[in-house]
Structure 1
Amino acid sequence: MRIKATIERIPGGMMIVPLLLGAIINTLFPTISKTFGSFTGALMTGSLPILAVFYVCMGATIDFKATPYIMKKGGTLLITKIGTAMIVGFIAAKFLGEGMISGGLLAGLSVLAIVAAMNDTNGGLYMALMGQFGKKEDVGAYSIMSLESGPFLSMITLGVAGLAAFPWQTLVGAILPLVIGMILGNLDKELREFLGKAVPVLVPFFAFALGAGLNLKNVWQAGVLGILLGIAVVVITGITLLLMDRLTGGNGVAGLSAASTAGNAAGVPAAVAAANAAYAPVVPSATALVASCVIVTAILVPIVTAWWAKRVGAVRS
């Protein structure tokens, strides 16, 4: 059986499929983690420890001596993605504050959901698209963009929007695993290779654990709003990323490839609420909306990127 090959035919499949599998199991058997407990329960509820290890390993792949091109490309996409989320979050905060809309078509929408959905790029999807339409240096640019990973920059964004102040210990704790990985990887090349190999392996595991914290009934309830937010992520961040990519010498393909929502972003609302209890009431709806965005953007971004690549002549024969 070619299970891995089949899954990888889906854009971001190694993340999306386990995430959906975990969500399906949790929806049909919501008490299964408590029923079996032990390692099974830990796997279904342990997304944060797995993500912590993932960030250490991901950090190890970031070379302090990255080429100027990688620094330029990755830095441009990183700053643009975060900057766009900050601007949109700041505007939304004027209307929503720390709460969420309670009725109508936009019921459940919150600044936390918007920021979490826009702040973090689906790295697997980006690298897959760049492997098809870009250069190897474009793929390498994600080593810089991976700094988006985790709740750290989402907390910063919410702070800039004037919605939350997080203790410095919490902010440091959110980025420390990534920094430790970066230090280890740059001190020892063998450690970089050793830890770097674990990055793709860990993706389906934290994706499954994140999915196991979701109930598809909530995702279904997110419904139209989840789809609309996913489209908004692609349109809003896609336009700014494309423009900045072109302004810095690119053809826009890398920019559009980064206009997605990362799977681990679904865990950001809970992580933020753990640091600031004011967000606890909006976590279920925000998580469902971000999960919807992961799926919607994973479908739309490859389509839009392929269309643009063909338009600018970046499609390989």
Structure 2
Amino acid sequence: MKIKATLDRIPGGMMIVPLLLGAIINTLFPTAGATFGSFTGALMTGALPILAVFYVCMGSTIDFKATPYIMKKGGSLLATKVGIAALVGFVGAKVFGDGMVESGFFLGLSVLAVVASMNDTNGGLYMALMGQFGKKEDVGAYSIMSLESGPFLTMVTLGVAGLAAFPWQTLVGAIIPLIVGMVLGNLDKDMRDYLSKAVPVLVPFFAFALGAGMSLQNVWKAGILGVLLGVAVVAITGTALLIVDKLIGGNGIAGLSAASTAGNAVGVPAAVASANAVYAPFVPSATALVASSVIVTSILVPIVVAWYAKRIGVKGNTVE
């Protein structure tokens, strides 16, 4: 059986197929991880540990000389993603107010749901796609983009920034594995060669663990509106990020790879509501919509990136 060859023919196959497999298993058998426990349970719930290893291995491939490039790329993509979320949120507030749409096709839609979906990039997805289609230095750009993680910038965008402390410990923790990898790779070329080989191997495992933390029922609960929100995130932020990426000298792949919604964004509506009770009534609907956007963008972004890479003649990296 030519399993790998088949996956390679599917746009973003090494990411999307394991992710869907994990989501299907979790949807049909939500207690599978707890039931089997041990290594099986660890694999189904181990997205963060696998991502931590991915950071170290990918960091080993980055040369310290590329640091200015990382700051430029990451800073540009971060500013664009947050700026677009703020702009769309502002327009949304003008259209249907600061609250939630109470009737019609857009029932349940709120500025909170829109901003939370657009503000935060799926770091694992971005790095996996960059590992396959991008430059080594582009992966490191997420160490800057990770500043958008969590509810802080969403609160800033919604005008309630002073209600939450800036989680600097979490941000530092997010880049330590990458820095460790960079140090090892720059101190010893043999370590760089050794660790770099694991980068493409880790992608399907991380994708499966990510999918195993999702439920396809969330898409059903949010309905077509949730699907459209996910498509809008890719279309709106993707277009802006593509343009900015090309303006700063990139080929656009990094920009498109950042046009997703992070899994941790699902918890942002509740976090925002805990800081400002005004948003409490919107939390259930906003959470379902954001969860739908996470799944939709996780599926759609790899397809769009693979299509665009082929269009501009960029071949994905493969394991020799």
TM over 0.5: yes
Q: 1:255 is matched by which residue type in structure 2?
A: G
1:86 aligned residue: 82
1:61 aligned residue: 61
Q: Distance in 1 between matches of 2:195 and 2:98?
A: 38
1:219 aligned residue: 219
SS at match of 1:61: coil
Q: 2:301 is matched by which residue type in structure 1?
A: T
1:105 aligns with 2:106: yes
What do the CA deviations read for 1:11-60 (whole angstroms, capped 9, x no partner)?
22111111100010111111111211111111111212222222222222
Q: Distance in 2 between matches of 1:100 and 1:33?
A: 36
1:154 aligns with 2:149: yes
Compare 241-250 and 181-190 and name the one that shifted more. Answer: 241-250
SS at match of 2:57: helix
1:296 aligned residue: 300
Q: Distance in 1 between matches of 2:97 and 2:57?
A: 36
1:115 aligned residue: 119
Give the alignment's TM-score, normalised by structure 1. Answer: 0.74
Pair 1:125–1:119, CA change in 2 (3 A): closer
SS at match of 2:120: helix
Q: Distance in 1 between matches of 2:268 and 2:215?
A: 20
- Give percent identity, aligned residues only: 50
1:259 aligns with 2:260: no
Structure 2 spans left out of the alignment, 5+ residues: 276-282, 316-320
What do the CA deviations read for 1:160-182 (whole angstroms, capped 9, x no partner)?
53545333222222322222222
Q: 2:218 is matched by which residue type in structure 1?
A: N
RMSD across aligned positions (CA): 3.8
SS at match of 2:256: coil
Q: Distance in 1 between matches of 2:267 and 2:54?
A: 16
Q: Distance in 1 between matches of 2:171 and 2:211?
A: 25
1:136 aligned residue: none
Q: 2:64 is matched by which residue type in structure 1?
A: F
Give 1:261 shift.
Answer: 4.7
Q: Distance in 2 between matches of 1:204 and 1:97?
A: 42
Give 1:269 shift.
Answer: 2.5
What do the CA deviations read for 1:248-297 (whole angstroms, capped 9, x no partner)?
456xxx2156313578x543336868998949865554233112112122
Pair 1:64–1:82, CA change in 2 (3 A): same
Q: Distance in 2 between matches of 1:191 and 1:53?
A: 14
Contact (CA 8 Å) 2:26, 2:215: kept in 1 or not?
A: yes
2:279 aligned residue: none
Give 1:223 shift.
Answer: 4.2
Q: Distance in 2 between matches of 1:297 and 1:261?
A: 8
Q: 1:153 is matched by which residue type in structure 2?
A: E
Contact (CA 8 Å) 1:81, 1:241: kept in 2 or not?
A: yes
What do the CA deviations read for 1:130-156 (whole angstroms, capped 9, x no partner)?
6xxxxxxxx34424434367x543246
Q: Distance in 1 between matches of 2:220 and 2:291?
A: 12
Give the alignment's TM-score, normalised by structure 2. Answer: 0.74
Pair 1:58–1:262, CA change in 2 (3 A): farther
Contact (CA 8 Å) 1:11, 1:298: kept in 2 or not?
A: yes
Contact (CA 8 Å) 2:56, 2:178: kept in 1 or not?
A: yes
Q: 2:37 is matched by which residue type in structure 1?
A: G
Q: Distance in 2 between matches of 1:301 and 1:210?
A: 19
Q: Distance in 2 between matches of 1:247 and 1:14?
A: 30
Q: 1:61 is matched by which residue type in structure 2?
A: T
Pair 1:98–1:286, CA change in 2 (3 A): farther
Question: Number of paired residues?
Answer: 294
